[in-house]
């Protein structure tokens, strides 16, 4: 069963623009934004959320816990 994506997490102020998530995203849907966060880094953004599979590779590779995916394997009707 494919996990259900509950939330895509992106905390711009934690992002230091290292690019690991961009490099390792299997869908190629993460890019560096033109705008900077308050620390002066070009943060990342998700270009097309509909293509996100919920693999959370971005969250596993991010050294600053700035990006990730929260998934649920439970039936949504149980909520």
Domains annotated on the chain, with CATH: 4-68 (3.30.70.20)
pLDDT at 5: 76
Each of the 79 residues of the chain gets a pLDDT tens digit; together they read 566 778 889 999 999 999 999 999 999 999 999 989 999 999 999 999 899 999 999 999 999 999 999 887 665 554 4
pLDDT at 7: 87
pLDDT at 40: 95
Closest C-alpha to 56, from 30, 18, 17, 31 = 30
Number of C-alpha atoms within 13 angstroms, CB side, residue 35?
5
């Amino acid at each position: 069963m494919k996990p259900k994506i509950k939330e895509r997490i992106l905390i711009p102020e934690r992002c230091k623009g290292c690019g690991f998530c961009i490099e390792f995203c299997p869908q190629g849907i993460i890019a560096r934004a033109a705008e900077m966060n308050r620390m002066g880094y070009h943060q990342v953004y998700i270009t097309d959320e509909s293509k996100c599979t919920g693999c959370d590779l971005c969250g596993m590779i991010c050294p600053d816990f700035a990006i990730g995916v929260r998934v649920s394997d439970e039936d949504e009707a149980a909520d």
